[in-house]
């Protein structure tokens, strides 16, 4: 078998629908566009959700309630096990954590969580600590320094 012998499997290729090739072709006259009107014209497009001047569904549905989600504080979570990559006795702050690639993406601060085992004495500066993370860091003689939480701007 050579490259010129290769061809697609039967049924894999479809003929292009040729419009406007006379009435007997089955796709003549209106060329599959139906009757007259906006959608029969060339270049016509109706935006999604448009209901022909009728009040759209999104405006007909009553809107109630309030969500506090947009005002929530979103922390980038960093586990204590991933802090083992820093040297013993090092000072770990927001800048060093971001440079190490442990807290990427938009967030209002960094929270240290207690998953895994910490094996080094570190001075950790973060916006929040879980109780188990704080216990692990201080058990090894390290320190947990709390940074003031940012008001609204992302860190």
- pLDDT tens-digit map of 96-128: 999 999 998 889 899 999 999 999 999 999 999
* DSSP-based three-state secondary structure for 69: helix
Question: According to the model, what pLDDT value does residue 69 have?
Answer: 85
> Rounded mean pLDDT of the chain?
91
Strand 109-113 to strand 75-79: parallel, antiparallel, or no bridges (unpaired)?
parallel
CATH numbers and ranges of domains, the chain: 73-146 (3.100.10.10)
Neighbours of 82 (CB within 10 A): 19
DSSP code string of 3-35: GGG--PPTTSS------SS-GGGSS-TTTTS-S
Instruction: Give me the percent of the chain exceeding a pLDDT of 90.
Output: 75
């Amino acid at each position: 078998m050579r490259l010129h012998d290769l061809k697609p499997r039967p049924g894999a290729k479809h003929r292009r629908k040729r419009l406007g090739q006379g009435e007997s072709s089955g796709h003549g006259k209106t060329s599959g566009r139906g009757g007259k009107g906006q959608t029969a014209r060339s270049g016509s497009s109706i935006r999604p959700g448009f209901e022909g001047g009728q009040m759209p569904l999104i405006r007909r549905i009553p809107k109630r309630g309030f969500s506090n989600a947009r005002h929530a504080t979103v922390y980038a979570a960093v586990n204590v096990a991933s802090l083992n990559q820093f040297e013993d006795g090092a000072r770990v702050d927001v800048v060093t954590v971001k440079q190490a690639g442990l807290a990427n993406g938009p967030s209002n601060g960094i929270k240290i969580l207690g998953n895994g085992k910490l094996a080094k004495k570190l001075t950790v500066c973060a916006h929040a600590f879980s109780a188990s993370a704080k216990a692990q860091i201080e058990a090894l003689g390290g320190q947990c320094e709390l940074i003031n939480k940012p008001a609204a701007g992302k860190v």
